[in-house]
Amino acid sequence: MPGPSANKLDYTLVALADPKRRAILRRLAQGEARVTELAAPFDVSLNAISKHIKLLERAGLVQRRRTGREHVLQFEPEPLGGVQDWITKQTAFWQSSLEAMDDLLRREDKADKKIAEVQS
């Protein structure tokens, strides 16, 4: 989706949203590799993989180091922390809301009992 106003988290999630890119990251988690090596397992063109790597770079998930004509890619886990933070906050919000609703239901229950007492 990223237009001109996209932020880091957007880029990270876009980068992770493709199975080939996730496979590339898994591969890089075991150690650096060159573009050709990364492309080998896939049955698409080298150019296609080159583009995938660019999206991973944009997200900060890989870093590139040139050694002569070879480009060595390295896995950079930091942006994954941003995703985890978002998920953590999101579920935290949700759970606190559930607890709040629980309280509310409990209070309503008490009120109902009071009314029942008065009416009985």
Backbone angles phi, psi at 101, to 5 degrees: -65, -35
Which listed residue (48, 51, 70, 97) binds a copy of itself by CB under 8 A? Answer: 97
Q: How many residues does the chain have?
A: 120
Strands 33-34 and 70-75 come out as antiparallel
The answer to whether 80 and 12 have CB atoms below 8 angstroms apart is yes
With 0-12 CB in 10 A as exposed, 13-18 as middle and 19+ as buried, what is 112?
exposed
Letters for 48-87 (x = contact with a copy of itself by CB under 8 A, - = none) are: ---------------------------x-x--x--xx-xx
Regarding 4 and contact with a copy of itself (CB under 8 A), the answer is no
Q: What residue spans of 4-119 are helical by DSSP H?
A: 8-16, 19-29, 35-39, 46-58, 78-119
Residues near a copy of itself (CB under 8 A), total: 28
Residues binding DNA (CB under 7 A): 1-4, 14, 17-18, 20-21, 34-37, 43-48, 50-55, 64, 67-72
Residues binding a copy of itself (CB under 8 A): 1, 7, 10, 13-14, 16-19, 22, 25-26, 29-31, 75, 77, 80, 83-84, 86-87, 90-91, 93-94, 97, 101
